[in-house]
Structures are given as C-alpha cells and as structure tokens.
Amino acid sequence: MATLTTRQQVAQLVVPWLLGNYTARDDSMFLVARRWVAELEVGGIIISVGSPLDVTAKLNDLQRAAPLPLLISADLEWGAGMRLRGGTAFPPLMAVGATGDPLDAYTIGRAAALEGRAVGIHVNFAPVTDVNNNPANPVINTRAFGEDPQAVGHLVAAFVRGLREHGMLSTLKHFPGHGDTEIDSHIGLPVIRGDFARMDSIELVPFRAGIAAGADVVMSGHIAFPDFTGNEDPATLSPAVMTGLLRDSLQFHGLVVTDALVMGAIVSKFGAGEAAVRAFEAGSDLLLMPADPDTAVAAMVAAVEQGRIAPDRLQRSVRRALETKVALGLFRQRTAPLDSVMDRVGVQEFLRQADDIATRAITLVRDTLGTVRALRARPQRLTVIAYGDEHNGSVAATLIDALRAGGDTVDDFRLWPMSGPASYDSARTAIGRAPVTVFVANVRPLSWKGFIALPDSLAALITATDSVRPTVLVSLGSPYLLTQTPTVGAYLLAWSGVRAAERAVARVLLGQVPIGGRLPIRIPPGYPIGHGLTLPVTHPDQH
C-alpha cells in the first residue's frame, strides 16, 4: 500500500473484460490488454469465452506482465462450461431448484472451482442469488434457483460452500435482487416497487443466507428501488443500498463489485468516468467492465484530487483487493500450470455429475393425453421440430441422436428466429410424416435481447399441431412457454440446452429413467411451486 501512488491504487480496482480466445502476442486486441495490465496497472481481468488451454496461456502471459498479481474473475454460473469450451456444462441453477437438493448446488460450485482454478480464474461471479418471481423477467429466468426465497437461500449457501471449500471466491448477485423485473438492465433501468419490509421478506432472504455461508463478494444490480431509496438511481449508484443496506444492515465485510459498468442502465446516463466514480462513492470496491478503463481511472484519480473521494476511503477498497490476493496465494504463485489443465477440466467425474443432475431435474408439468407415457412405452416414429436462438446452431442435435440410438425413428426440422413462411411450410410437411410431434424449444435468457418468448408463428404452429395429433412441447430453457401455448397436452421441462440436458430428455422420452423433478417456480395460472408428475422407469438405461 505504501508504495502505490493514487493512480496505481485506483487502477487496482478496475477490472476490464477480455475474450478468452487464442491470440498471438502481437495481436492488436491482446496488445491493448497487455497495456491495461503493464502500463495502466489494472488490478484484475474478467475473462470470457475461450478454450481452457487458450485461457490459461493468455492469463499466464498477462500475470507475468502485471506489476502486482491480477485477480481473475469469470461468470461460471452453471459451471466452467459457461465460459470454457471443453469445460463441464451443468444445467443452470433452476434445474437444481427442480431437484431441490443442496448437494447438487454444492457439486456445481465444487466443479466450477476446480476447473476454474486450473486455468487461472480466482473469482466466480456466481451464484445468481435473485428470487425469480416474475415470469416476464427477460434476463434472470433459469439463471436463478427459483421463486421461494427460503429454498433459494438454502441452495445459494450450498453453492457458496462448494466454491469456497475448493479454492474459489463466490459472488452473490445481483444485489439487492434482480428477480422481479421485466426490463433487461443491459438495455435500460428496471424499477422494483416495494419498501424495505418487502425486500427483507423476499429479495434479501437468499443474500443473507449466502453471507452467512461465507460469500466472499457481492455484485451490485443496476436496478432502482425508489420506495426504499427515495429516488430512481440504480442500486449500483445508491449509497443507501450499497453501504447502508449491504455493509451496515447485512454486515457484509467482503469485496463489493459493480455489475458491468458498460451496461445501458448505467453508462447511457452517466458516461464511463462518472459512472465509475458514482459507483465507488456508493460503496463498491471493484469497478467491473467500465466502458473505457483509462477514462474510469482518470475520473477516479480526479475525484480523489478534488476531494470527492477521501484517500482513506480509496485505501480501504484497495486493501480489501490486495488482502484478497494475499489470501488466494497470488503473491506466491500467480500463474496456472498449463500441463495440468487436461487432467482437471472437462473430466469424466464432472461430466457424469452433470448428466445425473440434468436427469433428476427433468420436470413433467402436464401429460393430459398420456403422450409422454406412450413415447416411453415402446420405440416410436416421431418428428422433432427444434427451435433455437441464433447463437445455438446445434439445438436438439444431441437429443435427436440419442433418440435414434435408443430405437426411435426420427424426422427432424429446425426453425430459427428469422424463419419465414416457407420454413414453416417445410416444418408442417415434416410434421405430417410421423404420428407424433415433439417440439423442442431453446428459449433462454440472453443479455441485451430484452425479451424471452417463442415467436408467435411457432406458438401458433405448436397449438395447431397439438389440436390434431399427439404433441409434446419440451423446453430447453424458459419454463414459462406454457403461457403462449396454454392448450398443449404434454409439457416437459429440461431447463437448459446443454448436452447433458438434451441427453436427459432423450433418456426420459425413451423410458430409460424415472421422471421426478418439481417446479421451483409457479407457472401461471395453474401450476404451483412443487408441482411435477412422476413416472417410473419403463426401459432401464443400459448405459
């Protein structure tokens, strides 16, 4: 601390974003990152998508270039596979809500910690601690454990323990709660109405549980709580929330990090520099993903020199950051051994655990005409109509292959958000070739998208098909698709489009495993928390 100038202290709190893909050392984007580290002297990096070996090599190079060790963070909400191509992809947290087993939450946390630390990541920006009690929420949805605050709290605590007991810092997000919103904070500013009593009985319950379990970091949410704060400033910029509520009331003493400062709820109003200063004044320590790291550092330094930020306040945050690095052992060893990555990332132990959780999470909401029961009874001829967003070109491929391997005869056709009338005509032709239709839809929460729903044309096709032939709707994402297809006779939830979840759907439709998942959320109008039809094994899995 004594050796750092004000500018160096400020830079220790700035955490820019970096893609984890392979780059040569003289690549222009990597040279920018090297300058952040070596010249601007930022204190950390949030790493995004890349292969495990590329991420490790990239982070090691940056660690060697940094005057002080870097604190590396990543979003590994459903395991390392969320960011590491080849890491273990578990189903999302709402699938754990469907099993209801804290051990499953612990298992995902443990695997994320072991795989993440193997490539040089120290902080997991997870678990999502929000209570998803708004079906229209476009950005939380299956990322949360569920809707019941107490149940969410138990699972959050278990996830935190899984991370911490295996060497990785945990993060509770998005404080004080992003579940009851209908606006994506990447785009605009969500507003939640309700006084402290409401927050204390809903949003804050799982945060208290996570803090009690030893959570290391809390991430702010870009959400306004005007009935509590008296204004419509986002929580990230509110001293009443980030200091009064989090530090003083909830007695959280760890690191506080902003959600991404590049998000529309913040940067569009305040700009890169002022957003960073205001977030720090409100109570945050680490400034995540400012729109421009240089501007953020310059604005913070100016705020100290002008007296807006007291030197001792700055030093408290820097001390927290440095003490965290000391506790992680980064001053002794800051790089990760490249030759052990293949022994730790994507190993069979974790893949089996992902398959197990995904299978037990499958939830049968409705089977009015017994279509799912009939599919499980014997091999069938069926048509699979798969729908996925533009980022998932292989949606349902694993599922279809597994159905065919299990004895079903499958015709398939894929639809996309941009599919037009000709594609829908082709889908209807494919539907006519088999007596049973299975629609598989991967509608998931995507940042910056702003909504989460089936296209109207697809909802209409599902409803029309269901009226004339046995039909199953399988959701590989949002559980709320039934609101657009209220008459469909069979509705099956897999919570995710990861391969483990697709394999689980196939095993369920083939009758190889029992069905026993329970809803961790309400599906309006008629399905309460805890609902789920149970079916026994029909044809035991031979694998």
> Which amino acid, one-letter code, is at 501?
A
Question: Count of CB atoms within 10 A of residue 103's CB?
Answer: 12
Please give the structure tokens belonging to residue 538: 């029909």
Instruction: List the structure tokens of 297.
Output: 């550092």
Among 256, 258, 156, residue whose Cα is nearest residue 210: 156
Q: What are phi and psi of 174, to 5 degrees?
A: -115, 105
Residue type, 339: D
Distance CA 373, CA 370 (A): 5
* 259 given a catalytic annotation: yes
Q: How far apart are CA 171 and CA 77, in angstroms?
A: 10
Residues in the chain, how many?
A: 543
Pure H helices in 20-101: 28-35, 52-65, 93-99
Are 205 and 177 in contact by the 8 Å Cβ rule? The answer is: no
Q: How would you classify residue 473: left for phi > 0, otherwise alpha for psi between -120 and 50, otherwise beta?
A: beta
Phi and psi of 82, rounded to 5°? -65, -30
- Structure tokens given for 99: 């099993």
CA 470 vs CA 372, 407, 476, 490, 491: distances in Å: 9, 19, 20, 9, 12
Q: How far apart are CA 381 and CA 36, in angstroms?
A: 58
* Nearest-10 crossing angle of helices 456-466, 421-431: 20
Pairing of strands 71-74, 44-47: parallel
How many whole angstroms separate alpha carbon 390 and alpha carbon 303?
43
Query: Within a 13 Å sphere around the CA of 525, how many CA atoms are in the beta-carbon half?
Result: 2
Catalytic residue (one of 130, 259, 355, 466): 259
Determine if residue 287 is left, alpha or beta; phi over 0 gives left, psi from -120 to 50 gives alpha, anything else beta. beta
Judging by beta carbons within 10 Å of its beta carbon (0-12, 13-18, 19+), is residue 150 exposed, middle or buried? exposed
Structure tokens at 119: 């490539």
Crossing angle of helices 293-305 and 264-282, rounded to 10°: 40
Give the residue numbers annotated as catalytic, written as ranges.
259
